[in-house]
């Protein structure tokens, strides 16, 4: 009985490590997208749940809570953000 319990613990630990590894790879690839030449982060214009990466209040893409959330961004070609009403190249902070 003890061996079955130990096997279950080991399998759970391996599953956890693999999940964390996959999540880390996904975050790294999303952040690498931001570094692509010709792209810029445009804050304050994403629809709720459609942001490209983490915000000050959430940990991953697609988790913004409201339309136009000040700290949520989408990646756009350089120069486009300045043409969009409400778009900002810097995260806006609430006063």
pLDDT tens digits for range 50-61: 888 877 777 777
43 and 76 share a domain?
Answer: yes
Q: Both 24 and 42 in a single domain? A: no
Question: Is residue 18 domain-shared with residue 42, that is, in the same domain?
Answer: no
29 Cβ contact list (under 8 Å, min separation 6)? none
Task: List the domain range (segments joined by +) for residue 64.
Answer: 38-95
Cα separation, 15 vs 73, whole angstroms: 32
Cβ atoms of 20 and 26 closer than 8 Å: no
CA–CA separation, 21 and 36 (whole Å): 23
Evaluate if pTM is beyond 0.75. no
Number of domains into which the chain is organized: 2
pLDDT tens, 3-60? Answer: 888 778 888 878 877 666 666 666 655 555 555 789 999 999 888 888 888 777 777 7
How distant, in Å, are the alpha carbons of 3, 6, 49, 93 from that of 15? Answer: 18, 14, 28, 38
Give tens-digit pLDDT for 61-93. Answer: 778 888 888 888 899 999 999 999 999 999 877
């Amino acid at each position: 009985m003890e061996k079955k319990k130990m096997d279950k613990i080991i399998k759970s630990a391996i599953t956890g490590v693999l999940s964390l590894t996959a999540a880390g790879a996904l975050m790294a690839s999303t952040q690498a997208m931001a570094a692509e030449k010709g792209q810029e982060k445009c804050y304050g214009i994403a629809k709720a749940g459609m942001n490209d990466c983490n915000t000050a209040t959430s940990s991953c893409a697609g988790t913004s809570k409201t339309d136009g959330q000040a700290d949520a961004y989408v990646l756009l070609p350089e120069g486009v953000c300045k043409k969009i009403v409400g778009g900002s190249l810097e995260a806006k902070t609430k006063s």
